[in-house]
Structure 1
Amino acid sequence: MSLAEQWRSGRPKVAGLHLDSAACSRQSLAVIDATAQHARHEAEVGGYVAAEAAAPVLDAGRAAVAALTGLPSDHVVFTTGANHALDLLLSSWPGQRTLACLPGEFGPNLAIMAANGFAVRALPADDAGRLDVDAAARQLAADPPAVVHLTALASHRGLAQPSAALADVCRDLGVALVVDAAQGLGHLDCAVGAAAVYGTSRKWLAGPRGVGALAIHPDLAQRLRPRLPPPEWGVPLTVTQRLEHGETNLAARVGFSLALGEHLAAGPQLVRDRLAQVGRWTREALADVAGWRVVEPLDEPTAITTLAPTDGADPQKVRAWLIAQRGIVTTYADWQRAPFELTTPVLRVSPHVDAALDELAQFAEALAAATAAA
């Protein structure tokens, strides 16, 4: 059975056409059952007894995150999602609070940086929004910030950033690199040698909503100063223990851990190759739809395709028409996703490994109809 067949057969039958994995993928039946089973176990034996029983599953989840990030499993913290992970990290940052990131940085990330008192400067990028590694190396060497933050794959544009090359630059300069892998985990190789990597369950890993992970290099962890409990209390907890919230939806963490295991069992490289193929198919299918321009290069190794309107189409109205009339789910992305780069709203298409050529042709026809009607 092919990867696409395994993926589809292991999930509930989709109601329509799901082209929105960059927002929220479809969970497998096994993940849904594991999540529900833990909730049932809490009702049977009590939440804290059930939590103790789930410890091996959660340890396996941390080990899976470690395998995907190249960071130690005992330095993996479960969070409620990517935004929470970044806030935990930046609120614990020691000393100087200066940060360099791309002009196309995710809007909510910028808000978290500002809320934690970080002065942000822009890294150099080309016209497409991809990091210029050589120019960045010169800039960082001349005036190194406390932290470099790189979103490996953006929310509003399916460009794979050169994370490994930037990690090499930062390592040589002794600057901490933090990688936002919300769209990267389960999609791109995120084991690049960063000081910290964080991400979420619900996107390409196809786990439950409301859970994510933060993986930290031990050298950075030793420097962090979490706010809770107050350091002066002298509570004998490690940094990772202080960062992890005990009062949480543990069932979601159990489901996330299983989803991570499914991803590793499928083969991360096989999944990455398939997603790159699906991305190419999508761009080929949509290249000639009137009123839209495919933003990404044809061979970009991602499954995110961004459609920019060229003749006044309203992406928000088009998305709504596609759902109401055809049961096709996509993403409307407005300027707030990347307030310093995105000038007009776009439509984002993000099928997973189970996408078929006939479905993409079906979407192309529906998009043309939606454009004419909306």
Structure 2
Amino acid sequence: MSVAQQWRDARPKVAGLHFDSGACSRQSFAAIDAAATHARHEAEVGGYVALDAAAPALDAGRAAVAALTGLPSANVIYTSGSGNALDLLLSSWPGERTVACLVGEYGPNLAVMAANGFEVRALAVDGAGRLDVDAAARQLAADPPAIAHLTALASHRGVAQPLAEFAEVCRAAGIPLVVDAAQALGHLDCNVGVTAMYSSSRKWLAGPRGVGVLALADELAQRLQPRVPPPSWGLGIPAVQMLDGVESNAAARIGFSVAIGEHLAAGPEHVRARLAEVGGLSRQVLADTPGWRVVESVDEPTAITTLEPVDGADPTTVRARLIAEHGIVTTACDVVRAPFEMTKPVLRISPHVDTGVDELEQFAEALRAVV
């Protein structure tokens, strides 16, 4: 059975077309049932007793994250999302607070960096917004930051960054590399030897909303100094334990554990190949859509396709009409997503592995109709 058919069979039938996995994908029956079962168990025996009983399931989720990131399962921390994960990491950072990142860095990430007192330095990119690895290597050597940060796949453009190559540069320079894998985990190969990686549950891994993960290399996990409780208290509690608080939506975490387990069972390499295929099909079908320019090249190995309006269409209005009139869910990306790179809003589609040419052609027809 194909990856596409497995994905489709494992989920409720979609109402319309769901081209929005880059925002929030569709959960499987198994993930939904696992979360509901835990919530029921909390009602039966009490939340903390149920949490203790769920330890094996949560540990299995940590092991699955470790398999995808290459970072130790003992240092995998559940969070409430990607933004929370980055804030936990940066607020616990010891010493100098400088970070090198892309010009097109995700706006909310920049806000978290600023809130934690980090000075941001821009890394060189090419005309497509892709990191120029050689130029970045020279920058890091000339003026090393405390952290290099790379969003491996942006939310406003489906360009895959050279993660493995940059990880090698950072290792050679002795600079910790922190990776935002919110769009990349479950989409691209992220097991490339980085210092820290964080992601969300709800995107390509198709887990519940309100869950995220932060994974750390051993050396960094030992260095972090969480702000709560104050380090001056000298309690001797490991940083990983302090960051991974007990008070949480355990049911959602268990749903995430099941979802990432399903991803591993399907074969990450098969999922990646199918997502790249879907992205190529999307760009071919949409290449000549009047009033829009496809941003990515056909062979970009991602399923995110960005449509830039060329005749004045408003992506927010278009998105609303696609939902109301055609039952098609997409994303309108405003400039706040990449405030130092974007010049106008764009429309984004992010279909998952179950999408075929017929659905893409249906979308293209609907897009022409609403514009």
1:172 aligns with 2:197: no
- The one-letter amino acid of 2:319's match is R
Deviation per residue, 1:273-312 (Å, 9 max, x gap): 0000000000011001100000001000000000000111
**Where does residue 370 of structure 2 map in the other structure?**
370
For residues 201-350 of structure 1, what are the structure 2 equivalents within 5 Å? Answer: 201-350=201-350
Q: Deviation at 1:234?
A: 2.3
TM-score by length of 2: 0.99
- The one-letter amino acid of 1:126's match is D
- The one-letter amino acid of 2:217's match is H
Q: Deviation at 1:179?
A: 0.3
For residues 150-161 of structure 1, what are the structure 2 equivalents within 5 Å? Answer: 150-161=150-161
Alignment partners' CA distance in 1, 2:317 and 2:208: 28
Structure 1 counterpart SS, 2:54: helix
Structure 1 counterpart SS, 2:307: strand
Q: Deviation at 1:238?
A: 1.1
Deviation per residue, 1:56-114 (Å, 9 max, x gap): 00000000000000000000000000000000000000100001000000000000000
Alignment partners' CA distance in 2, 1:235 and 1:6: 48
Structure 2 counterpart SS, 1:15: coil
**Where does residue 358 of structure 2 map in the other structure?**
358
Alignment partners' CA distance in 2, 1:5 and 1:364: 23
Alignment partners' CA distance in 2, 1:267 and 1:207: 17
Alignment partners' CA distance in 1, 2:158 and 2:214: 22
- The one-letter amino acid of 2:88's match is L
Of 1-10 and 271-280, more deviation after overlay is shown by 1-10
Alignment partners' CA distance in 1, 2:234 and 2:133: 42
TM-score by length of 1: 0.99
Alignment partners' CA distance in 2, 1:231 and 1:143: 30
Q: Deviation at 1:236?
A: 3.4
**Where does residue 75 of structure 2 map in the other structure?**
75
Q: Deviation at 1:221?
A: 1.2
Structure 2 counterpart SS, 1:263: helix
Q: Deviation at 1:245?
A: 1.7
Q: Deviation at 1:127?
A: 1.0
Deviation per residue, 1:239-286 (Å, 9 max, x gap): 100111211000000000000100000000000000000000000110
Q: Deviation at 1:235?
A: 2.0
- The one-letter amino acid of 1:34's match is A
- The one-letter amino acid of 1:317's match is T
Task: Specify every segment of 5 or more residues in structure 2 that has no aligned partner in the other structure, as ranges.
Answer: none
Percent identity over paired residues: 72
Alignment partners' CA distance in 2, 1:160 and 1:192: 14
**Where does residue 134 of structure 2 map in the other structure?**
134
Structure 1 counterpart SS, 2:84: helix
**Where does residue 98 of structure 1 map in the other structure?**
98
Deviation per residue, 1:157-209 (Å, 9 max, x gap): 00000011111111011001000000001000111111000000000000000
Q: Deviation at 1:230?
A: 1.6
Alignment partners' CA distance in 1, 2:253 and 2:86: 18
Alignment partners' CA distance in 1, 2:245 and 2:355: 37
* Superposition RMSD in Å: 0.6
**Where does residue 8 of structure 1 map in the other structure?**
8
Alignment partners' CA distance in 2, 1:370 and 1:74: 50
Alignment partners' CA distance in 1, 2:4 and 2:322: 24
- State the 4+ residue runs in structure 1 displaced beyond 6 angstroms: none
1:32 aligns with 2:60: no
Alignment partners' CA distance in 2, 1:46 and 1:222: 33
Counting matched residue pairs gives 371
Alignment partners' CA distance in 1, 2:116 and 2:163: 24
- The one-letter amino acid of 2:89's match is L
**Where does residue 57 of structure 1 map in the other structure?**
57
- The one-letter amino acid of 2:274's match is R
Q: Deviation at 1:232?
A: 2.2
Of 338-347 and 236-245, more deviation after overlay is shown by 236-245
- The one-letter amino acid of 2:105's match is E
Task: Specify every segment of 5 or more residues in structure 1 that has no aligned partner in the other structure, as ranges.
Answer: none
Alignment partners' CA distance in 2, 1:360 and 1:72: 39
Alignment partners' CA distance in 1, 2:291 and 2:106: 26
Structure 1 counterpart SS, 2:348: strand
Deviation per residue, 1:22-41 (Å, 9 max, x gap): 00000001100000000000
